[in-house]
């Protein structure tokens, strides 16, 4: 078999596999999408970040406490509406801690810093699907997006991300009875 025919056959197989993946209920998302979080019925713009592993939400006044012999977390989600910031209070059971590694410093003398973040389960409505996902809580006020959805969450929604697109899906989920 010539190299040209082998290449064309390889390319055809690759295209077939890509098309098959899309046919298997894969949803195409843009690099940012509107989502609804529950509890709180919070609508915000989330960045879909394939470079991040986990989901992270902007939260302030994060406090851990005991309730019914279980660790819980209280926090407030800042929503920017009409030039004002509204704080939405939420209390949820603590699921675990997520450890985030970050590099600081110049190229020559980078230091690796690890941050411990409380992590809770929240319902996320993305497109027409609602999934319960693990979300770590952090001060993201200096970032453009209040929330990022990492690879784990994107895979839960069986999604792929096209970085050229934005807001391809409007959140349209039936309300969760617990929200």
> Is the model's pLDDT at 34 over the cut of 90?
yes
* 148 or 25, higher pLDDT: 148
Residue 15 lies in a domain: no
Instruction: Tell me if the pTM is above 0.85.
Output: no
Residue 2 lies in a domain: no
Count how many domains the chain has.
1
**Per-residue pLDDT averaged across 117-125, rounded?**
97
pLDDT band at residue 137, thresholds of 50, 70 and 90?
very high
Domain residues for 137? 28-162
Determine if residue 21 is left, alpha or beta; phi over 0 gives left, psi from -120 to 50 gives alpha, anything else beta: alpha
pLDDT band at residue 24, thresholds of 50, 70 and 90?
low
Cα separation of the two ends of the chain: 61
Measuring CA to CA, which residue among 62, 46, 20, 19 is closest to residue 148?
46
> Is the model's pLDDT at 13 over the cut of 90?
no
Helix extents (H) in the chain: 3-23, 151-156
Residue 17 lies in a domain: no
**Per-residue pLDDT averaged across 162-179, rounded?**
78
Extended beta strands in the chain, E state: 27-30, 32-38, 42-48, 55-58, 60-67, 70-81, 84-93, 96-104, 111-126, 129-138, 147-149, 159-162
Residue 79 lies in a domain: yes
CATH classification of the domain holding 91:
2.40.70.10
């Amino acid at each position: 078999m010539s190299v040209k025919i082998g290449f064309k056959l390889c390319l055809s197989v690759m295209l077939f596999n890509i098309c098959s993946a899309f046919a298997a209920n894969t949803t195409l998302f843009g690099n940012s999408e509107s989502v609804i979080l529950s509890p709180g019925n919070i609508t915000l713009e989330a960045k879909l970040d394939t470079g991040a592993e986990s989901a992270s939400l902007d939260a302030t006044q994060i406090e851990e406490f005991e309730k019914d012999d279980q660790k819980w977390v209280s926090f407030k989600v800042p929503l920017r509406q009409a030039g004002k910031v509204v704080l939405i209070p939420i209390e949820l059971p603590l699921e675990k801690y997520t450890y985030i590694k970050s590099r600081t410093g110049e190229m020559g003398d980078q230091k690796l810093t690890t941050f411990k973040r409380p992590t809770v389960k929240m319902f996320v409505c993305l497109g027409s699907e609602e999934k319960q996902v693990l979300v770590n809580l952090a001060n993201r006020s200096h970032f453009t997006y209040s929330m990022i959805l990492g690879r784990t969450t994107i895979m839960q929604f069986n999604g792929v991300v096209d970085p050229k697109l934005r807001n391809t899906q409007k959140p349209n989920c039936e309300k969760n009875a617990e929200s």
